[in-house]
Every structure is written in C-alpha cells, then in structure tokens.
Structure 1
Amino acid sequence: MSEGYIRRINFIEKGNGPPVILIHGVGLDHTMFRHQIDFLSLSYKVIAYDMLGHGKSENPDGSYQLLHFVDQLNQLLMELKIERVNIVGFSMGAMVAQLFAIRFPEKVISLCIMSAVANRNEEQQQNIMKRVEQVKENGHLSTIDAALSRWFTQYFALVNTDLVNEVRSTLENNDSEAYLKAYSLFALSDQDLWHQLGSITSPTLIVTGEKDTGSTPDMAMQIGEKIHNSRVVIVPFVKHMLPMEGKKELEHHLLKFLNENNFN
C-alpha cells in the first residue's frame, strides 16, 4: 500500500486492477475503510482519500459547497491519470459520489452509495438542524456521544470498544470550524440532490442498514426509484456504520456488483 499527497489531498492506494475510489463520511477520514481497502485490493486498485477539511487534506477558507468536494475528487482522479472509476461513497461521501456521477457520467464505471440520506421529511430536517445548532453553540465534541449511539448498535459497541473508541478519536480530532462547515453542508444538500437523481445513468448499488435512523431503508428505496439502473440492499440488524458493523454483508454485495460491472 502506498500513501500520497497530491495538491493537498491526502490519499492511499493499494492493489491492482480496475480502479475503485472510496469516499468517507462527515467528521471521519479514509481510515474508516481499512477493512474494505484490504478486501477489495485483492482484485482492484483501491484509492481512499480524505475529503476537504478532513484528515490530512487541506481545509480551505470560506464556506463549503458540494461542488467543491466533487472538484476535489475530479482533481485527484486527473492527477492519478484515472479516466474511468468505480465510486463508493458513504453518507456525506455518497452525496459527493452522486453529484460526481451527475456531472461526469462518462467517468463513472459504477456507483455504490451507502448509508445515504435523501429527501428528509420535516421532522428529520428539524433534527439535523438542531445538531448543526448544537455544534455552533457547544462545539463538535458535544455531539459525539449521540453520533456514536446513532451509528452503532448497542451490542456491537459493547463488544468492539476499541473500534468505537477509534472512531471517537477521529471525531474528536476534527477541526471545529471545518466540521461545522461540512456538517452544515451535509444537513442541507439532500434536497438539491433529490431533484437531480433521475439523471444518474451509471449502474448503481444502494446499501443501507435496517436500523439506520438517519439514512433509512425508506430513503434507500426512494433513491432506487429515482435511479433507474439500480438495486437496493438493506443490511439487517445494522445501524449507520455499514463499513464496520455490516462489513461482511456489505463486502459480499459490493464485490458481486463490482465484478458484474468490471469483469463480465
């Protein structure tokens, strides 16, 4: 596995084969995909990177727009001389993946969006805006316990304390200003995307956890109705953090999907 830093984008690269790029969620970094990097790199060239304001990538001044994250991804692909790619996005990373597929359909071999939000109802929108206000008033550290409770089932958290504490540490190490900018964007971008989803033409796998209260199975089904060339998988008994708590079932469906679109 090699590590790189191109134009202030921190990334890692492992394996050989068709390229697969992994995009993490808000407040996290590329290390959340550690297991998927090792698993997929047996058959694919896997690239995982830190989004703007996350991990070791740059934190530009000013507010964020989703297009900034799409441009960052496109810049990385151009620097790596990758013309077409399989994109896997988690949560906010799924937003970036969807908008990239809308703007650059010719560059997308396949698209996997996991734990993605879509078309939040009034109550769901109020809930996330309350969390944005909490970050503004009390800082991002005040939201971590509740986030971990939403992301992991109680049983998984009890028997995987080291892993959950690792995620906690990643959240704690965020730059407060960058986290607020990214989380505010995450809270407001689903409606803009919702009206564009029908223009996605790439083969698409949509995956979410049965117990995910933020990126619900109903949202996944709605996304699937919008994107014509898609399939929906609901992973039973899992909350938000599919790449960790639901990794075995996720990887089974993801590898099958990637192989169908790259080797058949």
Structure 2
Amino acid sequence: MILEHKSAKIFYSVTGTGEPVVLLHGFLESSTMWDNLIEDLSEKNQVITIDLLGHGQTDCLGYVHTMTDFANAVNTVLNHLKISTFKIIGHSLGGYIALALAELNPNAIKSLCLMNSTTEADSKDRIDLRNRAIKTAKKQYTGLVSMSISNLFFEENRKTFANKIEALKIEALKTPVQGYIAAQEGMKIRPNQTEFFKTAKFNKYIIAGKKDPVLDFETIKNISLRCNATFIGLKGGHMSQIEDLADLKPALLQFVNN
C-alpha cells in the first residue's frame, strides 16, 4: 500500500490481526527482508512493514534523512492505521530509527528490539568511513553496494549464502544514490541513545551476532547489561535474518509474544 508523507510516497504492508508489531529494515534493505519471518510473526499479531525513506518503493525527501525524518515517516503510517501503541523490531538502521521513534513518543512503545543494531552514536572512524563511502557512491555505486552487502556477512558464511547475497545486492541497488547518501548522512549525525534506552520503561531486547563484522558483540552485550535489556546472542554476522534464521525466529516470537 502507498501513503503520502510530505512530498514522498511511503510503501507499507499490513499482515494479520492482533497486537501491532512494527518491523523496520536496515540500510540498503527493504521490507522484503522480513519475508521469511512475517508468516510466523503475524500468526497472533498485526505485522506492519514499511519501506524506509529512500529504500524499496519509498521516495526520498532530500539528501539528508535524519533518524527523526525516518521516524516521522513511520509515524505517518502508524497514524494512518490508527495505531497508538505497538511493539517494534529494528534491524541495523531500523534500530536507530526505532529509538528515534521511541524518543518522540515513548508511551506508544510497549517493547523495542534492537536486532544487529546499537544505541551508540558513530565513532570518528565510522564517520570517516561513511564520508569515504559517500564520495565513492557518486562515482562507483554498483561496486560499492556489492562490496557493502558482502561485508555484512561473517566471512565464512559468504560462500554458504552466496545466492542470497547476490539477491540482496539486486535488492540493494533499488536504493537510489540519493537514498544511499541521505541515510549515510543521517546515520553520521545520530545521537547516542544509550541513556535514553537505559531509562526507558518499555520492554527491551537486543539480538546480536557473535561474528558481526560491523558491530562488536561484546560491546553490544555490555550495552544490554547496562540497559537491563534481554540479550540474545546468535552465532552469525550482521544479517541474522539470513545467517541465523532458524534461531532468529524463536527469538523474535519470544519478543512479540512476551
């Protein structure tokens, strides 16, 4: 379904009935990343998936999409659906947006799950990496996206999931250069949300991959301990919905049914 937000068309879908659960995909992904999970998650719940600004079938708003910009677009969908309280799962970038959405309206959130994501702001090294990627995107976008997708997987899994990685690259290239740049610019300036997450009253979960090449597992585990969040460690990399699907399903069902 399509909904207009400011000057942008926002794509979303609704599956099932029951308590609302919002699923937010990661950077260079789309709502299709949840395809292997929706059937299970919607058995007792109303599952809402949304293509984030500049991703999938959703338009861009500009060349900087802050986490608040993303969150406001999600809010437009939820308001349209008359959803006032919900549970939310955010993968990577989707986790940053879930935190921004929770800060805008903490009373709306019943439970929040960070999946392969973090409460922390970018380090200087990460900001430098994003700046270099933005420059490269303007000249060699296809090659950059291809490399970026592969690098999200634990190295030993890249052969195992070679076909799925190729499919992901095709999906990722649906994100226009503008969408790529806008998200990178927004992630660079996102604030540290650890203290907010720590003091939040909603239920908190964190799912992390032990071999995640993007986020340090022990750091994420420590954040979970500091914030009194339920922590679930999986054996793979950053793409748990592919690398650890069999273990991810019961973990997410535990979250939505708790």
Please report the TM-score for the alignment, with normalisation by the length of structure 2: 0.89
- 1:235 is aligned to 2:234: yes
Three-state SS of the structure 1 residue aligned to 2:178 is helix
Residues 98, 112 of structure 2: 8 Å contact kept: yes
Question: How is 1:150-229 mapped onto 2 (pairs within 5 angstroms)?
Answer: 150-189=151-190, 191-228=191-228
Counterpart mapping for 1:122-141 below 5 A = 122-136=124-138, 138-141=139-142
Residues matched between the structures, number: 253
Alignment of 1:1-264 (within 5 A): 4-7=1-4, 8-117=9-118, 118-136=120-138, 138-189=139-190, 191-228=191-228, 230-236=229-235, 238-260=236-258
RMSD after superposition: 2.0
Change (3 A) 1:58 1:173: closer
Question: Bigger CA drift: 144-153 or 203-212?
Answer: 144-153
- How far did 1:122 drift? 4.3
How many Å separate the matches in 2 of 1:111 and 1:101?
A: 8
Q: Distance in 2 between matches of 1:72 and 1:226?
A: 30
Deviations 1:224-247 (A, max 9, x none): 14423x1111101x1110112111
For the 8 Å contact 1:205–1:232, the answer to whether it is kept is yes
**Structure 1: 5+ residue runs without aligned partners?**
none
Q: Distance in 1 between matches of 2:188 and 2:87?
A: 26
Q: Does the C-alpha gap of structure 1 residues 167 and 73 become closer, same or farther in structure 2, counting only changes over 3 Å? A: same
Q: Is contact 2:130–2:184 with CA below 8 Å preserved after alignment?
A: no
Q: Conserved in 2, the CA contact under 8 Å of 1:150 and 1:212?
A: no
The whole-number CA distance in structure 1 between the counterparts of 2:218 and 2:233 is 10
Paired with 1:223 and 1:139, the residues of 2 have a C-alpha distance of: 36
Say if 1:26 and 1:186, in contact at 8 Å, map to a contact too.
no
| Whole-Å separation in 2 of the counterparts to 1:145 and 1:253 | 29
Return closer, same or farther for 1:233/1:218 CA change in 2, 3 Å cut-off.
same
**Gap regions ≥5 residues in structure 2:** none
Read off the aligned partner of 1:105 and give its amino acid letter. P
Give TM-score, length-normalised by structure 1: 0.87
Q: Secondary structure at the match of 2:188?
A: helix
Question: Quick check: which one's helix share is greater?
Answer: 1
Amino acid at match of 2:245: K
- 1:63 deviates by 2.3
Distance 1:98-1:219 versus aligned 2 partners, 3 A rule:
farther
| Percent identical | 22
Secondary structure at the aligned position of 1:64 is classed as coil
